[in-house]
């Protein structure tokens, strides 16, 4: 017997496909940013599947937020290192 409930990854790809109309309306840098956001959802798909949230978008939003927070932390740490170097000179 086959699965009656799609896996999280399958459901995620279906949801990303449903946003294709929105994606097509974006231009230039916005299109790249949207694609990176969807890729962050794919990156954290294992965590999303473990969240067992009834609404797929909740796990997708959390994946995007986590990705953004990670990037902000890296930027902040890089800035602090640069500031430290400047103070030493």
pLDDT at position 54: 85
**Residue 19 phi, psi (nearest 5):** -90, 10
For residue 3, pLDDT beyond 70: no
Residue-wise pLDDT tens digits, 26-74:
999 999 999 999 999 999 999 999 998 889 999 999 999 999 999 999 9
**Residue 2 phi, psi (nearest 5):** -85, 170
pTM above threshold 0.85? no
Q: In this structure, are residues 6 and 14 in contact, taking their beta carbons and an 8 Å threshold?
A: yes
């Amino acid at each position: 017997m086959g699965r009656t409930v799609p896996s999280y990854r399958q459901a995620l790809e279906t949801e990303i496909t449903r946003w294709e109309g929105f994606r097509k309306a974006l231009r230039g840098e916005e299109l790249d940013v949207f694609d990176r956001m969807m890729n962050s959802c794919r990156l954290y798909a294992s965590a999303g599947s473990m969240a067992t949230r009834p609404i797929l978008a909740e796990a997708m939003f959390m994946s995007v937020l986590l990705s953004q927070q990670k990037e902000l932390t890296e930027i902040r740490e890089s800035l602090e290192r640069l500031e430290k170097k400047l103070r030493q000179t």
